[in-house]
Amino acid sequence: DPSSLKVIAKAPVGKDPHEVIASTDGKFAYVSNYGGGRYNTLAVIDLVAHKALPSIDLGPLRGPHGLAFVGGKVWFAAEAAKAVARYDPQEKKVDWIMGTGQNRTHMVMVSEDQAHIYTSNIGSATMTFLEKGAGPRDWNETVIPVGKGSEGFDIAPDGRELWTANAGDGTVSVIDIAA
C-alpha cells in the first residue's frame, strides 16, 4: 500500500528474481528468473488475487533479463541465448524470437508501435537497434559499439538520443538514433 507503506501481499517468484514488469491493465506482474543465464522462467503474479500463478518455461531462452510490456505481450532479453523474445499471455507461448549475435543481451526497450527494439549487450560492449522492415518477418539490425559493460539505457524525452551506462569502463555513451 503506497500510502501506508505496508506490505499487503507476498508471492513466491523463483530462484533468482531479477526484473519485474506489470501488465498495462495492472492485473498481472511478470518476474524474470535470471540465474546468471542458468534459469529460463518468468514468474507470473496475479496482482488482483495476490497469488502466484504457474511459471512460464522459456525452454532454451536462458537468462531472461530486461522486461517490457508492450502491445499486450511480455518482451524480454534472453542473455545466454543472445536473443530478444516476446511472450503472448493470451496464447500462452513465446511467439517471436530475434537473435542479436551479441554476448549477454541484457536489457530491452520496445517502442509502443513495436517497430523499434533496443538492447544492450554487456559482453560485446554494444547496443543493438532492431527496426521493423517492409515484410512481416523483415527486421533490420544495427549493432553500435559503445563502452565496456553496456547495461542500463534510456531514450531522451525528445526521442533523438539513446544514452547507455557502461559499467565496465565508467562511461556513458550517447547515440544519435536517427543517424
Per-residue pLDDT of the chain (179 residues; tens, 9 = 90+): 989 999 999 999 988 999 999 999 999 999 999 998 899 999 999 999 999 999 999 999 999 999 999 999 999 999 999 999 999 999 999 999 999 999 999 999 999 999 999 999 999 999 999 999 998 789 999 999 999 999 999 999 999 999 999 999 999 999 999 99
Q: Quote the pLDDT of residue 136.
A: 78
Query: What region, left, alpha or beta, does residue 160 occupy, with left being phi > 0 and alpha being psi -120 to 50 degrees?
Result: alpha
Residue (of 3, 9, 95) closest to 48 by Cα position: 9
- With residues binned 3-state (H G I as helix, E B as strand, rest as coil), the percentages for the chain, rounded to 5, are 5, 55, 45
Give SS3 for 174: strand
CA distance 48 to 44: 12
CA distance 78 to 99: 9
Q: Which residue has the cell 531472461?
A: 64
| Torsional sign, CA 13, 18, 24, 26 | positive
Which residues are within 8 A (CB) of 50 and not within 5 positions of it... i.e. 6 or more apart? 8, 9, 11
Tell me if 126 sits within 8 A of 144, measured CB to CB. Answer: yes
pTM (whole model) above 0.85: yes
